[in-house]
Amino acid sequence: MSNVRDGINTNPRFVIVGAGMAGILAAIKLKERGNNNFTVYEKAHEVGGTWRENSYPGVACDVPSHLYSYSFAPNPQWSHFFSPGDEIFKYFKDVAQRFEIYESIHFNSEVKKMTFSDGAWEIEIEDGEKDKADYVISATGVLHHPNYPNIEGLDDFHGYKFHTARWNHSVDLSDKSVGIIGTGSSAVQVISALAGSVKELNVFQRTPQWVLKVPNLEISDEDKGRYMNDPAMLKTVRDELSTLFEINFANAVVDADSNEAKMLQVMCEMNLNDSVKDEVLREKLRPGYRAACKRLVVSPNFYEAFSSSSTNLITENIKRVEPDGIRLADETFIELDVLVLATGFKVDMFMRPIEVIGLKEESLEHVWEERPSAYMAIAIPDFPNMFMLNGPNGPVGNFSLIEVAELQIEYIFALIDFAREQSNGSKNSLKHGIIHPKHAALEAFESERVEATKHTVWVTGCNSWYLDDRGIPQAWPWTFTRFREEMNSPRFEDYELVP
């Protein structure tokens, strides 16, 4: 409960929504600041977010493991350059354990409603439980709500059917004809893992993807030992990977004319040309747009999947799903026992469907009616003291969202300290301030952001989940260096305090 005495808040209370990578981070960082007055509400039974939900064969992170780790919790034991999903899931559970976060998490507790009232947030949980907080940190993830395709007959399929993020592990696939719709990052990992180990694998490709080949090397026991004994070496590895990713990916995608963006193109073309000898197959796999326009797929062995005689690439459009398989536009019928939907996510949901009511009794659903937006991807006018990690239009792409969230949480704390300071004359004062961005600041930010997206590779002629309903990338269109600078030096003048 909020600890208010004579208008003085002696120990501001936080509620964190979600116990995935970002929620665990927020909890650890609050404790580091000496604030233990918080609860994390998690709708599922365990921490780990995306790594709990995605357990499909081949799941891994295509950001190198030593970079996809918290800066304050390096892991000398990563097994591979790109470690598998279950290892990443275990990492988050271990970190939550080590930093004693579990005791602050309410599991199976989906937040239903949050209302800003009388200077604080009232939070309603699905079981009727209520809470009150001075600050809310929303850490609900981006790629979180499965996108089920609108294909005629999908519900009539008689075999097993599931989305990659809802994998049905009870089905033995070895003697089955499996169909997989989609060729994005998830599909590529599933296809590589299943090729040759199922009766038949039918890949339904609507649009080809550029694939960057990066070998997934095992990390030797010798190297693990070195990392264990020499934390400075481990930090150097992380820092070097961070710089490499920043230059080669983060900065490349925001400048379509850059040499780095052109180099990605060359490397992807080389991978396709060198890996696929069959000319007809190669051309079917060749995208008609630039590399990294869609989110770049990274794989050590995707094209090799098609060297298995039981893997078929189907490029004819899907006409409809029938009870026993898929009917193509040219009337060919592909019989299937299992249908895997690797069809991505609804990326504009963020903390919704939570009902969020702000300062002016307006719902977030209404404010985001057209599309979601947030100042600096973090804060929304009239929704004071509510901050998002990995919120709308933030950095996305082939780099570590952990690095992003670590910068964002420090920005949020800087805002909170500023608000307290402004309210009381000292950041250590007991009264908490109520802060939100100005409408004009969000408008200026959005118009500058939209203008900057014109130079990105995301608008060079493809369709992707990066694009909003207007075809404008819903992402950070500037360099990662700028993101770091913005996060390290908040523009306090763009915020206002609620009296």
**What are the residues binding ligand NAP (CB under 6 A)?**
60-63, 143, 149, 151, 164, 181-187, 189, 206-207, 295, 318, 342-345, 463, 465
Nearer to ligand NAP, 67 or 318 (CB): 318
Residues whose CB falls within 8 Å of the CB of residue 301, separated by 6 or more in sequence, listed in order? 192
Q: How far is the CB of 192 from ligand NAP (least distance, A)?
A: 12
Q: Is 15 exposed, middle or buried (0-12, 13-18, 19+ CB in 10 A)?
A: buried
Q: Which of 368, 366, 413, 359 is nearest to 391 (CA)?
A: 368
Whether omega for the bond prior to residue 84 falls within 30 degrees of 0, making it cis, is no
**DSSP of 218-230, one letter per residue?**
BPPHHHHHHHHH-
Nearer to ligand NAP, 57 or 384 (CB): 57
Nearer to ligand NAP, 344 or 395 (CB): 344
Amino acid symbol at 406: E
Output the six-digit token pair for 250. 């983060």
Output the six-digit token pair for 436. 């939100």
Q: How far is the CB of 411 from ligand NAP (least distance, A)?
A: 23
Q: How far is the CB of 466 from ligand NAP (least distance, A)?
A: 8
Nearer to ligand NAP, 184 or 384 (CB): 184
Rounded to 5 degrees, φ, ψ at 339 are: -125, 115
Nearer to ligand NAP, 18 or 490 (CB): 18
Q: How far is the CB of 142 from ligand NAP (least distance, A)?
A: 8
Q: How far is the CB of 223 from ligand NAP (least distance, A)?
A: 22
Nearer to ligand NAP, 114 or 296 (CB): 296
* 147 contacts 346 by C-beta, under 8 angstroms: yes
Element holding 41 (H helix, E strand): strand 38-41
Q: Report the DSSP pairing between strands 135-138 and 386-388.
A: parallel
Nearer to ligand NAP, 177 or 186 (CB): 186
Q: How far is the CB of 254 from ligand NAP (least distance, A)?
A: 16
* 167 contacts 56 by C-beta, under 8 angstroms: yes
Q: Which of 251, 137, 179 is nearest to 484 (CA)?
A: 251
Amino acid symbol at 176: K
